[in-house]
Amino acid sequence: MTQRGKRRELLADAAIEVLARDGGRGLTHRAIDREARVPEGTTKNYYPTRNALFGAIAHYLAEQHVAALEALCAHIPEDVCPDDITALYAAMLSRMSGNARSQFLALFELHLEAVRNPEVRAVLGELSRASVDTAVQLHAAVGRRIGRRGAGLLDAGMLGVALSTLSLPGELVGDLGLDDTEGLTRALLTLGGTRDEPALEVLRDWAG
């Protein structure tokens, strides 16, 4: 990677942290310079406008996400089973509110920006399509069929649960069972049409 490429990556990582911590209003060139510990004016030289900043963050997150999904699909074990898929999505849910918290908070801010920003909306569309394609491929690998609508519902449900987990009071998250990642995953997979059990039965089990 070139020095310029490394600097762009440094600024993108810093911008994600600023966006996650301070929201869209706090996303300024100076804030990113401070977060990245670079001379004032560096970020503005690379990304002159706020639209350029949002576009850069969206592209950077999408590239990381798509690359991770492609790597996952390229290395599906031959003996993968349905329980492995459930465990994978449960781990994803945990990661959204755990060690990838900043990335997903930034992603939610990007979703808000996408309502008014066509470029960001297009990039998030690519990210969502990659998630849907991955869900279809993973379930095909274990002999289960999931349509694109079902995979889209699964993806939207995962994002919705993560957003609630990150934004609601902790005691309410526990009271509502939103910290039950395995149970939630089974429910979401059922809604997506990927499990053999009757949907109402699985949802009833999770809801207690």
Ramachandran angles phi, psi of 48, nearest 5°: -65, -30
Percent of the chain with pLDDT over 70: 92
**In Å, how far are 64, 116, 130, 179, 203 from 185, measured between CA atoms?**
23, 31, 19, 11, 11
Domain tally for the chain?
2
Token pair of 92 as six digits: 């994803």
| 120: containing domain | 50-195
Residue 38 inside a domain? The answer is: yes
Instruction: Please report, for the domain that includes residue 125, its CATH number.
Output: 1.10.357.10
Tokens 């289960």 label which residue?
144
Q: pLDDT of 105-132, one tens digit each?
A: 999 999 999 999 999 999 999 999 999 9
Whether the pLDDT of residue 206 is over 60: the answer is: no
Mark whether 35 and 66 lie in a shared domain.
no
Helix axes 101-114, 50-74, angle to 10 degrees: 120
The answer to whether residue 204 is domain-embedded is no
Specify whether the CB–CB gap between 73 and 141 falls below 8 A: no
Q: For residue 168, what is the DSSP state?
A: S
Q: What average pLDDT does the segment 123-142 reach?
A: 94
> Is residue 194 predicted with pLDDT exceeding 60?
no
Same domain, 144 and 54: yes
Neighbour count for residue 56 (Cβ, 10 Å): 17
**pLDDT per residue over 34-57, tens digit each?**
999 999 999 999 999 999 999 999
Domain presence at residue 208? no
Is the pLDDT assigned to residue 3 strictly greater than 50?
Answer: yes
56 shares a domain with 10:
no
Residue 43 covered by a domain: yes
Distance CA 174, CA 156 (A): 21
In a domain, 203, yes or no: no
